[in-house]
Chain A
Amino acid sequence: MLKFYRILLHLYPTAFREEYAKAMEHEFRDELAEAQSGFPVVWLWMRLLLDFTTSLPVQLAIEIGRDSRHALRLWAKRPWQTGFAVIALGVAIGANTGVFSVVNALLLRSLPFRDPAGLAALIHFLPPHDSAAQFDSWRRHSNYLQDAALFEDGDLNIGEPQHMLRAHITMTSRNFFSLLGSVPVIGRTFASEDHAVAVISYGLWQELYAGSDKVLGKTIRVYGLQPRPDEPLRIIGVMPANFDYPASTVLWKSPEYTRGNNGWAAIGRLEPGIGWTKARAAFAADVHHLEPHRRFRADWIPMMMPLADELAGHVKNASLLLMGVAVLILLIACANLANLMLARTADRQHELSVRSALGASRARLIQQILTECLLLAIVSAGLGLIVAVWATSLASKVQPAPLPSQTYTILDVRVLAFMVGVAVLSAVLFGLLPALSVGRIHLFVARGSTELRSSRIVRDVLVAAQVTLTIVLLTASVSVIQAVSHELHIDRGFRADGVVTGSVALDGTVRDKPGLRLHYFEEVLDRLRRLPEVRNASSTEFLPLLSGKFMGGPYAFDGHPSAQGMAADVIPIMADYFATTGGHVLYGREFTDAEVRSNAKVLLVNETFARLWLRPADAVGHMVTGPDGTVRKIVGVVRNLDFMGQYISDVFDVDPPETFIPAQNPGGFDSTFVVKVEGRPEDQVAAIQAALQSVDSGVPVYGVETMQQRMDRAFARPKFYRTALAFFASFALLLALIGIYAVVSYAVTQRTHEMGVRLALGTTPTRLRTRLVRHGLATVVVGALGGIACAASTGKLLGGLIEGAKGFDVATYVLATIFICLVAAASIWVATRRIANMDVVEILRAE
């Protein structure tokens, strides 16, 4: 019992404990002896515990208050140093919290579905789906999936011909909602006998029906969905506000199974208790068994992964990378602050030894230092909170969360706990060494020693550690920045400068008739071309990089069918498309307006397509039979157009074969006008928007903006990573340099006497400074070598996380080392400038 009471006494702050613990223990013994046993002992313990819980907080507050006031007085004496420490740690804590809020939202918070851990995305794989019966039979017989569902989503027109909305629509198999375990707020979801019915989102319910219960049974039209492009759908249910899966869907439609529709995507729920390893093996066997039903592109490897991972997509790896970087920054900041605190503690040697002589114990002094560190961490965490809020809002702009329930926020128990944990951990990290050194000062001062050689070594080790971490961060950042920059500057087969774009959708409008569609496009193009600043105008059904859908299929070249599983994309365009978008027609020519109007059987192919059969230069004049059976003559070969940038799509496909046909029936896909203008394209956006709307006000016109704006948005994420990494790397470098500078200038102050003697003995200041640079650089080089070793060993991880990032790159390592040595040498040289102005006589007299 006494042992337990001693433990309780240990929880009191040091000063109080040292003063009264013995007396309290003494009393406890007396009272225990009086109480003897039974109920009085229980009563005694109850009173003691009550006393403990009331007095402990008071004593803690008193002592922390006293130590904090002391710390604040010390800080006020060195505002610059304190300011630097708070900023360094604040940015580090903020960056960690900000990145963690994203990781938490995407990877740790569970999806808003029933038992989300068992949900799987089936990538590049389609189960049998020619009919409902075929699909149902497959899913019922699956030995690894309890259930599976199909969906196909895209942007379509909904509403009435006079008032058309562009919205994200998803056609789903009937069990889609039950698989996810999601229930509607009113009405019901699809049942097996349902046909031509729809479930709408909460937002659409509010917007079109003002949240009225009478919405059930009303009809809504969705245009352009095959095979019945304008069938009215009966609304049977409304989903809750936080449900918009997939991709901000506003309307879910009952399924239409058509033979050969490869637009479906599949999700499933694992059999209970099967585990991912077993399920993946069973999935692989299933894929092998169903080979004929594989999707049309042979290089797409079927995969089964947790739905949460699929939704997180590229953001997952990038977030993990940024998390790693943020942790490195925190470690560097901690090493820096540890050094700073060590130097400060050494400076306060006199004060501490006086306090020690006055009876302050080692534990008391350590508590004082740790309180100071904790206080520093708390103040920094305050700044970190601001940094974290800013970082989180930036991340939400750059990469919005895929589901409403995954919104990035720091107002989350896990994120806030993480932040507090990081702050406390960092305080311990940078407070531990100074606290231990206090113990040593305590001992050594008693023996009359001053500066310790061992603490100098500790400081050198801390500098080396900072350099090590900085090199790891620097090389990783350079590698990723190179990869991103390469991706950004790659030749995509078109140029964004000087191009304005604007999209239209004719489905369901009065123009939605075979002849009228082309006529509408010609009319728009005619108006656009007549604008004074417009040099050229054309249109495409799929805009490179920015289209989510494709059309294509197997084909034949001069009557020879394409290889098994090999398909080509088909992209309908108008005349002058490549001239307008700065594309390259390598051989032959583009279509003419007359060819588009007369539906001439002509075709353009890209280099990849041509190379599959012959030299691209010889392709013109050959005949190609398209997926629809039409035979067309090749009139030109163009450079590959990059439709799927690596950082934009989760599926990176290198240069697929592409064919371009005259757009005979335009306006049904992501139809977009492209307009090449003179001068600043931003200035022409309004005029082009007006021209587009002037032809027919009933046609929804959207996305009128410069191509550059579209590209900027598409590449916002990689650009953000690039900027973030560049910032982190620079920040780490700055911290390391300040660390080196502080250590060297502190050493100069400490060893003024020694320097004075050396100068008196005939050494020149320059020689002394060179010596210090040499010593400092030795530390830096040791740290850099450690950094290279770490970078090389973790490089593989980096290569795996970020596509295109080099895991091992000698040139980067060497350059980074040379760079850090140069800036370190400069920093040391500046730090030792005092030596040049030293007055030897003064120093020796003072000593």
Chain B
Amino acid sequence: MSPADNLIPLSPAVFHILLSLGEGDRHGYALKREIAKRTNGKLKLGPGVLYGSINKMLDLGLIEESDERPDPHLDDERRRYYRITSLGRQVARAEAARMRELAEMAAATFGRARHA
């Protein structure tokens, strides 16, 4: 079993943070807004849960702090940016595979949704 397999399943918050960071470095507030957009406002992370998750992900080595400022005209010096690590990518992939398997299993049992 790879180290990535030990860390799944992920909570929705952690998975979405990894997805967002997969597209580029972000600070906390940007992550939050993006996740809300991505989920049509269904997943709105509060600051406690967001930074709690970031803290945990930093501890696990899924993400790290980044010194780069990808969007200089929007940047605020006081904000901290995060970047996905290679372990983070592995874990996100493993989680996606897991979900795919799950989805296929559901499809085999219940049939595919019409508007899928």
Contacts and interface: CB of A to CB of B under 8 A. Distances in A.
Interface string A394-436: 0000000000000000000000000000000000000000000
B78 A20 contact: no
A52 B46 contact: yes
Contact of B51 (A16, A47, A48, A62): A16
A284 interface: no
A525 to B, nearest CB: 87
B52 A58 contact: yes
A47 B45 CA distance: 9
Contacts of B56: 62
A20 B44 contact: no
B29 A52 contact: no
Contacts of B45: 51
A30 B29 contact: yes
A18 to B, nearest CB: 11
A305 B75 CA distance: 77
B80 interface: yes
A262 B86 CA distance: 96
Nearest to B29: A27
Interface residues of B, number: 19
B48 interface: yes
A23 B49 contact: no
Contacts of B51: 16, 19-20, 23-24, 55
Contacts of B48: 12, 24, 51-52, 54-56, 59
Given A16-B55, A20-B55, A51 B28 contact: no
Given A16-B55, A23-B79, A26-B78, A51 B49 contact: yes
Contacts of B70: none
Contact of A59 (B29, B44, B52, B78): B52
Interface string A42-64: 00000110111011101100100
B32 interface: yes
B61 interface: no
Which secondary structure characterizes the binding site on chain B?
helix
A24 B52 contact: no
Contacts of A52: 46, 48
Contacts of B80: 23
A28 interface: yes
A51 B53 CA distance: 12
Contacts of A30: 29
B49 A54 contact: yes
Contact of B47 (A19, A24, A58): A24
A797 to B, nearest CB: 52
A30 B30 CA distance: 11
Nearest to B27: A23
Interface in B66-81: 76, 78-80
A51 B49 CA distance: 6
A23 B46 contact: no
B29 A48 contact: no
Contacts of A51: 45-49
A48 B55 contact: no
A26 B79 contact: yes
A6 interface: no
Contacts of A56: 48
Interface residues of A, number: 22
Contacts, number: 60
Contact of B44 (A16, A27, A47): A47
Contacts of B46: 47-48, 50-52, 54-55
A22 interface: yes
A54 B80 CA distance: 24
Interface in A191-233: none
Nearest to A21: B51
A28 B47 CA distance: 8
Interface string B21-37: 00000011100100000
Contacts of A28: 47
Contacts of A58: 52
Nearest to B58: A19
Interface-central residue, A12, A51, A54, by most chain B CB under 10 Å:
A51
A118 B112 CA distance: 77
Nearest to A24: B47
Given A19-B55, A22-B78, A47-B44, A27 B49 contact: no
A393 to B, nearest CB: 46
A359 to B, nearest CB: 13
A55 B54 CA distance: 12
A24 to B, nearest CB: 4
B82 to A, nearest CB: 11
A756 B48 CA distance: 56
Nearest to B46: A51
B80 to A, nearest CB: 6
Contacts of A48: 46-47
B27 to A, nearest CB: 8
A55 B49 contact: yes
Nearest to A63: B55
Interface in A303-354: none
Interface in A772-806: none
Interface string A705-745: 00000000000000000000000000000000000000000
20 contacts: A23-B47, A24-B47, A24-B48, A24-B51, A26-B76, A26-B78, A26-B79, A27-B47, A28-B47, A30-B29, A47-B46, A48-B46, A48-B47, A51-B45, A52-B48, A54-B46, A55-B46, A55-B49, A58-B52, A59-B55
Interface of B: 27-29, 32, 44-49, 51-52, 54-56, 76, 78-80
Given A20-B47, A59-B52, 6 more contacts: A12-B48, A16-B51, A27-B29, A52-B46, A54-B48, A55-B49
